[in-house]
Amino acid sequence: MSHDEAVRRANAALQEYTLSAEGWRTSPSGALQRVLADLLHWCDDTQRDFDKALTAARERHAAESSGE
């Protein structure tokens, strides 16, 4: 998967948190914080380990960034 594809997917997902018909709801930084907080709530409700998933995501990002 390419970096550009990953960024396009992230932008599409974050639009729900950042953009409305009237314009920006919050800053990109604020949107990221809201997404992460919502994912923490989701992990609580579904008994998922957020920290474990974040570690795996960091490893995936590193592998993709190095071209593996």
pLDDT, tens only, 9-60: 888 888 777 766 666 667 778 888 888 999 999 999 999 999 999 999 999 9
Is residue 68 pLDDT above 70, yes or no? no
| CA quadruple 30, 32, 37, 42: dihedral, nearest 10 | 140
Query: Which residues form the domain of 22?
Result: 3-65
Q: What percent of the chain has pLDDT over 90?
A: 46
The structural domain count of the chain equals 1
pLDDT at 24: 64
**Nearest Cα residue to 35 out of 60, 9, 61:** 9
Task: Tell me the whole-structure pTM to 2 decimals.
Answer: 0.76
pLDDT at 45: 96
